[in-house]
Every structure is written in structure tokens, then in C-alpha cells.
Amino acid sequence: MSIPVDRAPARSATRDLAQIAVFAALIVVLGLPGQISIGSAGVPITLQTLGVMLTGSLLGWRKGALSVLAVMIIGLALPVLAGGRTTLTSLAGPTAGFLIGWIPAVIVIGLLTAWFMPRYRLIPGLLINILGGIVVIYAFGVAGMLIRTELTLGGAVAANTVFLPGDLLKAVVTAIVAVQVHKARPGLIAPLRRQRVTSA
């Protein structure tokens, strides 16, 4: 007599791993065009932060964080970061904080996106991407610049203002893509359960 085996957990785990791998590859591919450094601070313009925003918006915080970590781990051996840099090369430079900021950024984006599920909308999505993909990453990036350079807080902030238009465009593109994907694939991110606060 054969015993039925529930293959659903195995299929789910395989699907999750595939999604993590695909989005890690997306972040790497978005680094292939390279980077453009502007100003004396040497902060690079790269499309990889677009990949981070998309990963958090489409995979959620757990799988999103694993995708970003996968890129960083691969980067220990291969130059998969924009400009042909490895993870160690990036962490040794003045812009190390921007790379470190990817992890909290994808977590913030993933958690807030799940909060709005299953009704993900353009404007809330845009604001989420701005908070996680710009505010969080810039906060870590500026902190890293203060530690690694002679810049003052004002100087570090000013050095990054030139990148705001491009990053805002990335946030818009991510929100537009996420709206369409979540509409076509409802349930891609499980809604974050909202607990009602009841008075005793």
C-alpha cells in the first residue's frame, strides 16, 4: 500500500529558491552597465538599487533579504557589483554604507509592501520605495561616508543630492512594475496581518 506524500512544501521551497535566485541574478545584471561616479565623493550611479527596490516590492522582506545576501555572498568571489567591484572592494571604500544599506532597505520595502497587500497601489508603493530605497539607503550611505571620509554631515548629504532625481525615477519605475505584477500575480507576497488593538 502506497502512502500519499504531500509534495506541496517541497514545491513551495523550490519556488522560493528559484525566485530568490532570479532576483539575485536581476540585481547582478542591473550592475552590468557599470557605474558613473559624480563629484569628489565618488558616489556611483548604478541601476542595482533599482533591483533592490524591485526585489523588496515583489518578493517581500524574507526572500528579498536572501536575494540581496546572495548577491553579496557571490560578490565575495566574483566582481558582480557595478563597476566590476567585489563585495570586499565595495566595503573597503567610502561608499560601503550604500551597499550595507541594501539589506535594511529591502526589508523595509518588503514589510511595508506586505502591509498594503492585497491592495497594492501606485502612490503607497512609490512612497514605500522612496522610504526604503532612498531614505534608508542614503542614511547608511551618508553614515559610511562620515566614517570613511573627511566630509561633514552637510557635505555628505550635499554630495548625494545630485543622485536624487535618478533614484526617484527608479522608485517610480518600481512602483509601476509592482502594481502590474501584483495585479497579475495576486498572493505573490502574503499580506502582513494587522492586529486589532482592543481595550481591556
Given this model, what pLDDT does residue 41 score?
46
Q: For residue 7, tell me if it sits in a domain.
A: no
Q: For residue 198, tell me if it sits in a domain.
A: no
Q: For residue 126, tell me if it sits in a domain.
A: yes
Place of cell 542614503: 138
Band (72; pLDDT cuts 50, 70, 90): very high
The domain of 51 spans 16-34+41-184
Which ranges of the chain would DSSP assign to H, the alpha helix?
A: 8-29, 48-74, 87-92, 96-100, 102-116, 122-130, 137-148, 153-160, 164-184
Given this model, what pLDDT does residue 36 score?
55
Given this model, what pLDDT does residue 82 score?
86
Band (102; pLDDT cuts 50, 70, 90): very high
Tell me how many domains the chain contains: 1
Q: For residue 96, tell me if it sits in a domain.
A: yes
Q: For residue 5, tell me if it sits in a domain.
A: no
Res 22 pLDDT > 60: yes
Tell me the pTM: 0.86
pLDDT digits (tens, 9 = 90+) for 108-122: 999 999 999 988 999
Q: For residue 9, tell me if it sits in a domain.
A: no
Q: Give the cell for residue 19.
A: 525566485
30: domain CATH number is: 1.10.1760.20
